[in-house]
Structure 1
Amino acid sequence: MKKQYFLFQLKRFFTNPKNIGLFALTFILSLYFGLVSVPNRQLIEKVDPYAINGEYRRYTLFLNKATTKIKEMQESKNTHEVPNEGYVNAIKTYPDILNFDKHRINGIKANNWKEYVIYSSKWYKYVDHLIFVDENQQFLYPVQYYQNDNYREDGHFAYQRTAHFYDALAKSKQPLTKNIVEEKTTLQILQNSISGWTTLILIIFVVLFAADIVTNDRKYYSVLKDIPLSKNTILWIKTGVVEIGVLFNYLLAFIVVTLCTAPRYGFGSFKLRTTFYTGRLYFIQPFKYPTLGNYFIQFGTFAILIVFLFIRLTILLSIIFKNEYVAELLASVFAISGKVLYFSLGMGFVYPILQSLPMTYFTIGESLSGNLSYLMDSPGWGFNSGIVPLMLSIVIIEIFMLIISRSKRIKLIRR
């Protein structure tokens, strides 16, 4: 009987007009993402040979001029003449930058991307030190970071992250390409994109899939009212059906995005290294270099737990309120509560309790990249911090589900 009921629920799920609409919407959004959003994504720190060549020529000309002027001043023996600050600064800083740029240009020309990332890392660290530590007014972060009052810290973090990302690539055993350096391969695109609001939208899709899995039984009341299965069994079968539907939906999105991006940029490799921010830039090791394989294992673990949590939560709410729309609303509000309350609005003081709340980790990618630590301005907030709150939330939901399963007063199928 379990098999027949499972197949019946599975057929109903995949023929449900609402679910078909969600599958179609997923396909369209994935297609748009792969064909429009990814190619038009604006990179701040990109491989730009024209900019590097331009900087190399300008700095070389100015350094030659500065050297000549300083030499002339020294030969004139005029003790009252003060050296131009720009000339002094150029003589002090430009030689190192020109050396880095020379190797970066050679790396691009020779398609030697390992040389490029090694010397680009040195360039970013050196220039960042001039801006952030030395407060050298001759150098500035890109204008894209000057969008808010936190531009100095944002630029500092971005330069450090870029430098350490290049260090991570230099340690990778995989051959490097321009697309890998610019994080354009399919795996890197997914890593950087499945975060923030994108993840929350995917969670809301889970809620929409699960909301009517119980209440739709009203349409088949005469057939299902005397089914010889326990409530607990029925609920687990329904959970399994929704999980299959969600998995199908995610696979659909993954296949579409892969077909749109892999032929153009490459699929990437799970052996490539990426970065994880440990919480403080002054730490001895501010960034760790896990492989993409390790990242996606952690991502998959979080995703499985969060999907299961929201399927069971939505089913629970639909039973309690006897209405799928109320269940959708409450579960969706719970999903976005963390982002709305203390990510988007910002916080002056980070309350420690936030690290123990499950909604803090629903954005997944922000936690696993360490970006959540930067947003919260404190260490932690990674995989190890998030796994316990998520597990505890599931346990609490399962306790309520067990109570419902054993209660004779609560019926799953109603007219």
Structure 2
Amino acid sequence: MKAYFKFELSQFIKNKKNIAIYVILIFLACFYAFNIAPSYKPIEKVDAKEIEARFTSREAFVLKFLNDPNRFQGMASSGLFIYPKWIELDKKRLEALNENKLKQYASVTSKWYIYSNEMTYKSNMFYYSPGYYTHGNLYAMEDGYYGYSYSASRYAGYAEGTPKLSINVFEERTALQTLQRLFESYLPMILMICCIFLSVDIVLKDRWNPSLLTGFPISDWKKLLVKGFVALIGSVGAFIPISIGLLFIGISYGFGDFQLPVAVYSFVGEPSYFKKGEFLNTTMGMYLLQNFILLTLLFALIISLVLLASMIIRNEFANLVVGAIFIFNEIFYFKRGIGFFEEVENYPTNYVQVGQILSGYRNYIYNSSALTFDKGVYVLGISTGILICTYFRH
């Protein structure tokens, strides 16, 4: 079996298609590092001029109406009640930035986001940062609430933690924070698509050179397990090209720290329409480790599906279709809030966006409390085990 493993691994490494996939990944990683990462514009950025403009305009409003006999009427009354604390917090933020006291800035900014959320959510007077309202977003208020709560939690973590702080850390531009953002975006899907292409022909290629296999007297199901393991190693190896791009980002913006706080959204008790959850901080190291574990389980499940399709249909295009259906199946039933009525946590396809699962964002938009790391490991592990057991019947 060891000799067969070496044989399959050698064929996998020498496969021109597989080499091309890794080359494409290296190109995409470098393109991202040199073209997309520098143009990243966070919705919640550190902008002293913006803070000063907001502080100045609100201070001028308060000074204008403070001694006005009509100050208790209309908008003036609301502004005089709400603005003073905002002015105080923005003033402290500016002072901390000017004096380069980043821990102090983080502490005050956390309080600013908490207060701003309280004043803005479900309000007809104030709005969240403009970035939440782009592209006709019908859920801008909900996304703004999530974004401000997320920022309040991570800034509180910065103020309490030990990692070295910088503007790049605040704006999540460092290499590790970029990886975090990518996990919560399209990176998991890109890696899973690569997994499909890497494993799509690992069984069907044997029909081109059947004589080579006569020297390995092992059962068919053992051959399938070896092939699956080789494909899994190759899929996990796709992180190597990605790390090249992160290396360049780290040189430009810093590498970050595995102790950096990552805000994770969770419900206390059962969620409802009127009840919101809360953010708790975990470490960057733990967050990335959990992403890696869930992605590895997803690779194993996809490879198991492809191997089973190879045994039944014996067509590479069919293998691609089967894998694609698994990755994109969620779009057929996705709807915000559906988690309150459906047990979406039991669908393996719901764990494709691993970063959003672990950050709690999927729980937030699904209105669920069960899409967690532990549940993901259980569902994906059981699903993969069931598929592997079917090999013994063929």
Common fold: TM-score over 0.5 = yes
- 1:274 paired with 2:262, answer yes
Pick from 142, 146, 163: which aligns with 1:157?
146
Q: Post-superposition shift, 1:369?
A: 0.2
Which residue of structure 2 aligns with residue 142 of structure 1? Answer: 129
Structure 1 gap ranges (5+):
74-80, 405-415
Q: CA RMSD in A?
A: 2.2
> Contact 1:368–1:382 (CA<8 Å) still a contact in 2?
yes
What is the rounded CA distance, in whole Å, between the counterparts of 1:237 and 1:398 in structure 2? 12
* Structure 2 letter corresponding to 1:115: Q
Which residue of structure 1 aligns with residue 373 of structure 2? Answer: 383
Q: Deviations over 1:143-169 (max 9, x none)?
A: 332333322222222222211221222
* Structure 2 letter corresponding to 1:292: M
Which residue of structure 2 aligns with residue 307 of structure 1? Answer: 299
What is the rounded CA distance, in whole Å, between the counterparts of 2:143 and 2:242 in structure 1? 32
Structure 2 gap ranges (5+):
none
- 1:361 paired with 2:347, answer no
CA 1:396–1:351: 2 relative to 1, 3 Å: farther
What is the rounded CA distance, in whole Å, between the counterparts of 2:158 and 2:90 in structure 1? 18
> Contact 1:169–1:274 (CA<8 Å) still a contact in 2?
no
SS of 2:23 mapped into structure 1: helix
Map 1:101-112 to 2 at 5 A.
Answer: 101-112=90-101
> Contact 1:130–1:136 (CA<8 Å) still a contact in 2?
no
Q: Post-superposition shift, 1:348?
A: 5.3
- Alignment identity in percent? 28
Which residue of structure 2 aligns with residue 327 of structure 1? Answer: 319
Q: Deviations over 1:268-310 (max 9, x none)?
A: 1111111111136987971111111111221122122111121
SS of 1:235 mapped into structure 2: helix
What is the rounded CA distance, in whole Å, between the counterparts of 1:129 and 1:267 in structure 2? 34
What is the rounded CA distance, in whole Å, between the counterparts of 1:122 and 1:82 in structure 2? 27
Q: Deviations over 1:348-384 (max 9, x none)?
A: 5754332111111121111100001111022221112
Comparing 86-95 with 300-309, which one deviates more in the overlay? 86-95
CA 1:306–1:99: 2 relative to 1, 3 Å: same
Query: TM-score, normalising length from structure 2?
Result: 0.92
* Structure 2 letter corresponding to 1:307: F
Query: TM-score, normalising length from structure 1?
Result: 0.87
Which residue of structure 2 aligns with residue 87 of structure 1? Answer: 76
Q: Deviations over 1:98-135 (max 9, x none)?
A: 111111112212222211121111112212211226x3
SS of 1:289 mapped into structure 2: strand
> Contact 2:188–2:295 (CA<8 Å) still a contact in 1?
no
Which residue of structure 2 aligns with residue 260 of structure 1? Answer: 248
Q: Post-superposition shift, 1:393?
A: 0.2
Which residue of structure 2 aligns with residue 216 of structure 1? Answer: 205
Q: Post-superposition shift, 1:26?
A: 0.7
Q: Post-superposition shift, 1:84?
A: 5.0
Q: Post-superposition shift, 1:205?
A: 0.8
SS of 1:366 mapped into structure 2: helix
Which residue of structure 2 aligns with residue 99 of structure 1? Answer: 88
Q: Post-superposition shift, 1:239?
A: 2.0
Task: Give the greater-gyration-radius structure (CA).
Answer: 1
Map 1:342-361 to 2 at 5 A.
Answer: 342-343=333-334, 346=336, 350-361=340-351
What is the rounded CA distance, in whole Å, between the counterparts of 2:307 and 2:182 in structure 1? 28
SS of 2:368 mapped into structure 1: coil
- 1:187 paired with 2:186, answer no
